[in-house]
């Protein structure tokens, strides 16, 4: 039996039973426990399983109950989300894109605010779902594995039939000259459609994303109305954006 074949088998086993024991696998696959252990360690390094004393545990089982843990820069993102909330008014129709910052926004939404949210993002939708008084409409389509959002013609077609008061855009790269840029073509198409059909556009970005660019253009800087970062509005790093007419929160 080949090594990779064996590891496939182990992975399948661990996903079905949520746990495996070195001793069991050793017998079932007719190899020494050392080999199993080595396999498990490799799989653990690739984040496929979680290695523990005596065997291994399934990752998805473990992380699905625990998942809250790893939003990086959570502190900053919460600040950003807090500022963004001030733009929301009763009864608004709002587009929300993907990303953890927007998820954070959904989480801290004031409970009484009743607005209608359209989003292609799975995680944002799930978070919004827990909000008591808002309506959530999911834009469906082919799901992009990397981005965790729906993409494709159907999403864009639906967007063209709508008109939003506000579009809240998670931003990977923003630059005073180049505007907002991104790296995934499908995602760019969706963002473009959202911007086009919204009266106002708010860009949410960690300060580390400022003055960076990527391959594909989403929009010009003057198409954006609000720029929200975790920095105070008067921070010098934001000067270039204020000069361009953006309202910096």
Partner DNA sequence: AAGGAAAATGCGGATTTCTGCACGAAAGGG
Partner DNA sequence: CCCTTTCGTGCAGAAATCCGCATTTTCCTT
Instruction: Identify the CA nearest to 200 among candidates 123, 61, 95.
Output: 95
Q: Which of residues 21-50 bind a second copy (CB under 8 A)?
A: 21, 50
Six-digit token string for 81:
């989300």
Residue positions counted in the chain: 249
- Site size toward a second copy, by CB under 8 A: 59
Q: Which of residues 37-76 bind DNA (CB under 7 A)?
A: 37-39, 41, 51-55
Exposed / middle / buried, residue 20 (Cβ in 10 Å: 0-12, 13-18, 19+) = buried
Partner from DNA, a second copy, none contacting 208, C-beta within 5 to 8 A by type: none
Q: With CB under 8 A as the contact rule, which of the stretches 34-42, 54-62, 166-174, 211-219 interacts with a second copy?
A: 54-62
Q: What is the DSSP string of 67-104?
A: GGG--TTHHHHHHHHHHHHTT--TT-EEEE--SHHHHH
The answer to whether 125 contacts a second copy (rule: CB under 8 A) is yes
The answer to whether 2 contacts DNA (rule: CB under 7 A) is yes
Which residue from 47, 64, 72, 243 is in contact with a second copy, where contact means CB under 8 A?
A: 64
Q: Which of residues 136-195 bind a second copy (CB under 8 A)?
A: 136-143, 145, 148, 150, 154-155, 158
Q: Which residue has the tokens 């959570």?
A: 74
The answer to whether 3 contacts DNA (rule: CB under 7 A) is yes
Q: What is the DSSP letter of 172?
A: S
Q: At closest approach, how far in Å is the CB of 65 from DNA?
A: 20
Find residue 65's DSSP bridge partners.
none
Q: At closest approach, how far in Å is the CB of 114 from DNA?
A: 24
Stated as kind and residue range, the H or E segment containing 204 is strand 198-204
The answer to whether 93 contacts a second copy (rule: CB under 8 A) is no
Q: With CB under 7 A as the contact rule, which of the stretches 1-9, 109-117, 181-189, 204-212 interacts with DNA?
A: 1-9
- Tell me how far apart the alpha carbons of residues 47 and 100 are, in angstroms, rounded to a whole number: 21
Which residue from 17, 27, 28, 32 is in contact with DNA, where contact means CB under 7 A?
A: 32
- Tell me how far apart the alpha carbons of residues 167 and 224 are, in angstroms, rounded to a whole number: 10
Residues 182, 188 contacting (CB under 8 angstroms): yes
- Tell me how far apart the alpha carbons of residues 246 and 227 are, in angstroms, rounded to a whole number: 6
Judged by the rule CB under 8 A, the positions of this chain that interact with a second copy are 2-5, 8, 11-12, 15-19, 21, 50, 52-55, 57, 60-62, 64-68, 70, 74, 78, 82, 107-108, 110-111, 120, 122-123, 125-130, 135-143, 145, 148, 150, 154-155, 158
Judged by the rule CB under 7 A, the positions of this chain that interact with DNA are 1-3, 6, 21-23, 30-35, 37-39, 41, 51-55
């Amino acid at each position: 039996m080949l090594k990779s074949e064996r590891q496939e088998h182990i992975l399948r086993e661990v996903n079905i039973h949520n746990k495996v024991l070195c001793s069991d696998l050793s017998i079932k696959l007719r190899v020494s426990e050392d080999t199993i252990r080595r396999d498990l360690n490799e799989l653990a390094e690739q984040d496929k399983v979680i290695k523990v004393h005596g065997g291994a545990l399934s990752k998805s089982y473990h992380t699905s109950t625990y998942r809250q843990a790893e939003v990086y820069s959570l502190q900053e993102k919460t600040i950003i989300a807090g500022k963004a909330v001030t733009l929301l008014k009763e009864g608004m129709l709002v587009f929300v894109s993907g990303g953890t910052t927007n998820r954070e926004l959904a989480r801290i939404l004031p409970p009484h605010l009743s607005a209608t949210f359209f989003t292609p993002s799975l995680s944002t939708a799930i978070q919004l779902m827990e909000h008591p008084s808002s309506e959530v409409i999911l834009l469906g389509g082919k799901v992009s594995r990397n981005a965790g959002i729906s993409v494709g013609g159907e999403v864009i077609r639906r967007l063209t039939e709508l008109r939003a008061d506000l579009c809240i855009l998670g931003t990977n790269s923003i630059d005073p000259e180049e505007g907002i840029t991104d790296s995934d073509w499908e995602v760019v198409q969706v963002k473009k459609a959202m911007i086009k059909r919204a009266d106002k556009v708010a860009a949410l970005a960690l300060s580390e994303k400022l003055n960076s660019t990527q391959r594909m253009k989403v929009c010009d800087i003057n198409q954006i109305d609000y720029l929200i970062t975790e920095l105070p509005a008067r921070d010098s790093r934001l000067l270039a954006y204020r000069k361009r007419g953006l309202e910096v929160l």
